[in-house]
Structures are given as C-alpha cells and as structure tokens.
Amino acid sequence: MAPPSLPYLESFMHVTTELYIHASSAAVWQKLSLLDQWPRWNREVLGVRWTEGKPWTDGARFAIRHRTFFGLTTETTTTVRMCVPGSAAVWESQGFGLTVVNSVNFKDVVGGARLAATHTYHGPLVWLIQLSAARQQKLLETAMQALKGYVEGEPRGR
C-alpha cells in the first residue's frame, strides 16, 4: 500500500475558477487585453504596463504592480507565453521563490461566454501558497467576478 500523499510536499499548486459572462468571448477579451484597465476590476493590481515586445505576442513582457501575499506592494515582470486573442492566453511571472503561470480560456456559448482562469504556482516556496490555498482561490474568484461585472457594464465597488 502506497503512503498517503501530503499536499504540502507537492511542488506545485493551482487554483481555478470558471464562470459565465453575458457577453461574447471577443468582448471579454477586449476588456481583459487592456492591461492599463486591470486595476479597474482587480483589487490586487495597482498598475500594469507593457515593457517589451508587441502586446499579447509570445515573449512580450509587461510589468505588474500588485499587492503581495503579505500585503506589501511589489512590481513583477511577466512574460506572455501564448496568446490566441479571444480564445486563450498564458502569462508567467517569477518572484519570491515562485513561478506563477496564469491562464485564461474563453469559449462562446449560447447567450455569452464561458471563462476559465487558472493560477499555477511552482517553486521552493510553493508550500507558503499552499498554506493559503483558500485565500488564493477566493482572490481569483473575486477578480474574475469583478471582470465579469466590468465586461457586463457594472461598476466595481471599492
């Protein structure tokens, strides 16, 4: 009989959420792709700007100023790993002993779009994120619900 798996010994962790948005996947992508607008719908993001390459092409980079796990402010350089506008995007950042891979997928469905978002954490300090898995899940869900409101035209509350 194999010993039980201990989640804190895993070398990665991911959180994911999926939701329906009353808009086409093209409309969702149009809002999501405007980096300078991310602070309007994501409370953890304080500012974003392109720093290298053509926006949303493989290898393009952007800097994101955001709140850290400890509530501090930091700026992280992020690299686009893959993008199919209106369909999917993957970007990756590194810092504080972690690599974070963010992905979004869109699919048109009757009356709107289905959006799936995932954050995958890798690295020697992933155990710290694992200790706060519920918090990380809630942050992702809150951000995606706020994006939904932003796309559908509802103002974001502070």
pLDDT band at residue 69 using 50, 70 and 90 as cut-offs: low
Average pLDDT, integer, range 14-30: 94
Higher pLDDT, 51 or 153: 51
**Cα–Cα dist 111/85, whole Å:** 20
Architecture of domain 19-152: 2-Layer Sandwich (3.30)
Question: How confident is the model at residue 10, as a pLDDT?
Answer: 55
Say if residue 125's pLDDT is above 90.
no
Instruction: Name the amino acid, one letter, at 136.
Output: Q
Higher pLDDT, 10 or 107: 107
- In terms of DSSP bridges, do strands 12-21 and 73-84 run parallel, antiparallel, or are they unpaired? unpaired
Q: Which helix (H) or strand (E) holds 113?
A: strand 112-122
The DSSP result for 49-103, as a single string, is EEEESSTTSTT-EEEEEEE-TTS-EEEEEEEEEEEETTTEEEEEEEETTEEEEEE
Question: How confident is the model at residue 22, as a pLDDT?
Answer: 95
**Cα–Cα dist 12/127, whole Å:** 8
Sequence spans of domains, the chain: 19-152
Phi (first) and psi of residue 14, to 5 degrees: -140, 150
At 76-118, the pLDDT tens digits run 999 999 999 989 999 999 887 789 999 999 999 999 999 999 9
Q: In angstroms, what CA-CA distances link 82 with 3, 33, 41? A: 38, 13, 23
Average pLDDT, integer, range 24-31: 94
Structure token digits, residue 25? 């996947």
DSSP 8-class letter at 108? E
Question: How confident is the model at residue 126, as a pLDDT?
Answer: 85
Structure token digits, residue 121? 């954490």
pLDDT band at residue 132 using 50, 70 and 90 as cut-offs: confident
* pTM across the whole model: 0.85
At 34-47, the pLDDT tens digits run 999 999 999 999 99
